[in-house]
């Protein structure tokens, strides 16, 4: 349930105080059958109040209100109570120096009624409270705007990093395609073309019964054999030396011989994009390298949790860390953190009990950027 006071602001309270002040003066004027001087003063104060509501008038304008009240005192005695309005405005603007004329008036007429003094004090206190409220609201608004602007800039930077990472992978893919196409054209294509020409020459020589036909046929066979070799080598180079996926993770763990390693996998690893494996591999290597350098563990626990939206790699060893600062300031972890942030993820460490490294990467964002490109 929404509280009706949630939308109540300092500006609303200030306008309500001004309205009540004008209403109080109007009732006084009607009750005491005021003359034209009181009407003119009320109209002037209403105009000034509306102007302050619509525009940001400078603080010195309250001097005009006080002058109008002093003139109206000659015709309407209750005009002294109207001085509460400029007192309120001065304290609201946090410029109490502009109420000096009113203070001089109080000192000049020490026999002012208790009602007048009470009204002045109430106006000063209300103005100070509402002014402080408005100042705090303005400061909070500026801070909120700054945080919103920083968050917007961070989001833009994150999108730019994700786009740059995806574009880099795309450029690498195009570069590899161009290399393969060039290799097929320069090696396989040339050999096949030469084979075709040799076979055509063989056919012509064979029909004429030329003894050179046998030599030309042997040459065509050699050309076709060379093209098959080149094609086989090209296809072999298309396949990476090591498959992306869990095999690479298991291989890294198998090479770690300091202590037993328990590797647990939860979720469907086929949902992990290829570019995320290129972050998981060095992260796992860095965690195990730090274990060798800075701890003496009895076992290492590794878990890879994959959900539809994120994946989480956790590496923990129970050894005593020799240097707590190494893991936080090392160049390896610093570079890995930058790579993780580039895809919208994060890497954190904890050395409270042994050494714990947690890498969280968004699966969904990576898929979106890959389809986007």
Distances in Å between the Cα of 5 and the Cα atoms of 12, 123, 130, 140 are: 11, 23, 16, 18
- The SS3 assignment for 223 reads helix
Q: What's the rounded Cα separation, in Å, for the pair 182 and 189? A: 10
Nearest to 61 by CA among 7, 99, 24: 99
Q: What is the pLDDT of residue 169?
A: 67
Q: What is the pLDDT of residue 228?
A: 76
Q: What is the pLDDT of residue 112?
A: 66
CB 9 within 8 A of CB 80: no
**What stretch of H or E contains 295?**
none
> What's the per-residue H, E or C state across 94-141?
CCHHHHHHHHHHHHHCCCCCHHHHHHHHHHHHHHHHHHHHHHHHHHHH
Per-residue pLDDT of the chain (373 residues; tens, 9 = 90+): 445 545 678 888 888 999 998 898 888 888 876 677 788 888 999 999 898 888 888 889 899 998 998 888 888 888 888 899 999 999 998 898 998 888 887 777 766 678 888 888 999 999 999 999 989 988 988 998 888 888 888 777 777 777 776 676 677 677 767 777 776 666 667 777 777 777 777 777 787 777 777 777 787 778 777 777 777 776 666 555 445 678 888 888 888 877 888 999 998 888 888 778 888 888 888 888 887 777 778 889 999 999 888 999 999 987 766 554 444 456 778 888 888 888 888 998 888 777 889 999 998 655 454 444 4
Which letter does DSSP use for residue 341 in this model?
Answer: H
Beta strands, E only, the chain: 261-266, 300-306, 310-317, 346-350, 355-362
CB 359 within 8 A of CB 340: yes
Q: What is the pLDDT of residue 326?
A: 43
In the structure encoding, which two tokens stand for residue 199, read together?
Answer: 């076979």
């Amino acid at each position: 349930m929404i509280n009706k006071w949630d939308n109540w602001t300092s500006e609303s309270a200030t306008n309500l105080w001004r309205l009540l002040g004008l209403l109080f003066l109007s009732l006084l004027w009607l009750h005491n059958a005021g003359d034209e001087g009181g009407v003119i003063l009320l109209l002037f104060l209403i105009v000034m109040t509306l102007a302050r509501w619509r525009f940001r008038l400078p603080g010195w304008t309250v001097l005009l209100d006080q002058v109008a009240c002093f003139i109206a005192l000659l015709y309407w005695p209750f005009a002294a109570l109207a001085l509460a309005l400029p007192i309120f405005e001065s304290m609201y603007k946090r410029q109490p120096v502009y109420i000096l004329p009113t203070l001089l008036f109080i000192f000049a007429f020490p026999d002012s009624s208790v009602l007048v003094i009470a009204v002045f004090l109430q106006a000063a206190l209300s103005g100070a409270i509402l002014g402080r409220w408005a100042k705090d609201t303005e400061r909070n608004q500026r801070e909120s705007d700054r945080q919103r602007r920083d968050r917007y800039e961070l989001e833009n930077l994150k999108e730019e990093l994700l786009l740059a990472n995806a574009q880099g992978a795309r450029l690498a893919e195009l570069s590899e395609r161009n290399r393969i196409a060039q290799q097929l054209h320069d090696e396989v294509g040339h050999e096949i073309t030469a084979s075709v020409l040799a076979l055509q020459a063989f056919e012509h020589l064979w029909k004429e019964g030329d003894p050179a036909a046998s030599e030309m046929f042997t040459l065509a066979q050699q050309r076709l054999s060379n093209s098959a070799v080149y094609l086989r080598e090209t296809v072999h180079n298309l396949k990476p030396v090591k498959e992306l996926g869990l095999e690479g993770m298991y291989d890294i763990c198998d090479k770690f011989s300091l202590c037993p390693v328990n590797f647990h996998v939860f979720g469907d690893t086929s949902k992990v994009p290829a570019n995320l494996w290129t972050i998981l591999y060095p992260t796992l290597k860095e965690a195990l390298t730090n274990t060798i350098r800075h701890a003496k563990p009895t076992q290492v626990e590794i878990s890879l949790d994959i959900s539809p939206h994120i994946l989480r790699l956790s590496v923990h060893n129970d050894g005593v860390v020799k240097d707590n600062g190494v893991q936080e300031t090392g160049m390896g972890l610093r570079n890995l953190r930058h790579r993780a942030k580039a895809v919208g993820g994060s890497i954190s460490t904890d050395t409270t009990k042994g050494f714990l490294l947690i890498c969280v990467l968004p699966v969904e964002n990576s898929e979106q950027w890959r389809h986007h490109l």
